[in-house]
Amino acid sequence: MCRVLVVSRSGYYEWKDRPESARASANKRLLERIKTVHKESRETYGVDRVHGQLIAEGESCNKKRVARLMKGAEIRSKRRKKYKATTDSKHNHPVAENLLDRDFSVETPDQVWVSDITYIPTEEGWLYLAAVKDLFQKKIGLVDGRADHEGTGDQRA
């Protein structure tokens, strides 16, 4: 192996038996503190807050060092998804009349159908999902799922 790495045998064993450097042991100790602070924050703190907490606790370290150690250990903050209103109820467009008035009892099939539409965020964009249900059979009759970049083909289930 020494020939492949082009190092002397004595140089290899000297390197192998060398004690850990002061910087490496300090980085290990600091990384443990970083993990503790990150865990205590329920994994919500990023570099800035972890660094601030360490400084507040009397730890002497640079923000770039904290960032490097966090990146090397794959420590990231959990980001809270921001609320986005998806319905605009303040408009002047006509609204369909409520014909059922919350009376969902049906005597025969194909008498009352209800439907809904939703959208699902994916890595490729939005997936729009529509479903139609016969209230008598309590089964979904038609489902159409379409990505926002697709054409207008039906997909029946």
pTM score: 0.50
Which of 62-66, 120-124, 134-138 shows the highest mean pLDDT? 62-66
Helix (H/G/I), strand (E/B), else coil: 128: strand
Could you report the per-residue pLDDT of 67-117, keeping only the tens digit for each?
Answer: 999 999 999 998 888 888 777 788 888 888 888 888 888 889 888 888 888
Could you report the per-residue pLDDT of 45-63, keeping only the tens digit for each?
Answer: 999 999 999 999 999 999 9
Helix (H/G/I), strand (E/B), else coil: 112: coil
Q: What does residue 76 show for φ and ψ, rounded to 5 degrees?
A: -130, 155
Could you report the per-residue pLDDT of 14-24, keeping only the tens digit for each?
Answer: 888 999 999 99
* Distance separating alpha carbons of residues 113 and 136, to the nearest angstrom: 9
